[in-house]
Amino acid sequence: MQKTKQHYFHRKPRFQGPRTNYRIKSLDVQVINSSGENLGVLPIKEAIDAAKSEGLDLIEISPNANPPVCKIMDMGKYKYDMQKKANKAKKNQKIASLKELKLRPVTEIHDYNFKIKNAKKFLTKGDKVKFTVRFKGREMQHIQLGKDLMNRIIEDTKELGTVELKPKLEGRQMIMIVQPV
């Protein structure tokens, strides 16, 4: 006699998606047939029989309604349509990322213009821009240079962005975040 291995931590998989046919818990349901006509409120047995007679499934579309709304349709087609809708929503979603530009209080004008050009490009794409001015050594005694630089950045980017986080000093660096308008 062979012993079977017991799975103590094996869980029964939870069903994903809408309830169908005999999984629907309500006694009465609002039924919409496959052509889109409203059949009215029917007992669950009659609704399932109507779906089986067409060779389709009874799918609970709106479980929170009173009574729940069910539609007679093919489950595979319904899942396919829901996946397509989810993919379209994901495609249209815009994810704003944070781009960082690092400067020094003694950054030359050409380098500054190049950084501002990149910042404007990021802001037009819809990304936030984090400006970091790093101070080294004795530059910490001239924090006003960093503040002046940040104010100049605000002036140069005001048509494309607004200041989300005002310039603040954190240790040896000054940080500011500009978001697109």
Q: What total of structural domains would you count in the chain? A: 2
Q: Does residue 53 form part of some domain?
A: yes
**pTM for this predicted structure:** 0.53
4 found inside a domain = no
Residue 153 in any domain: the answer is yes
Domain with residue 123: its CATH number is: 3.30.110.10
Among 3-12, 48-57, 115-124, which range has the highest average pLDDT?
115-124
Give the residue from 63, 53, 81 showing the smallest Cα distance to 20: 63
Residue 8's pLDDT band (cuts 50, 70, 90): low
| pLDDT score for 122 | 92
pLDDT at 2 over 60: no
Do 64 and 107 have their domain in common?
no
Tell me which residue range forms the domain holding 131: 98-180
The dihedral through the CA atoms of 84, 58, 35, 65 has a sign that is negative
One domain for residues 74 and 106: no
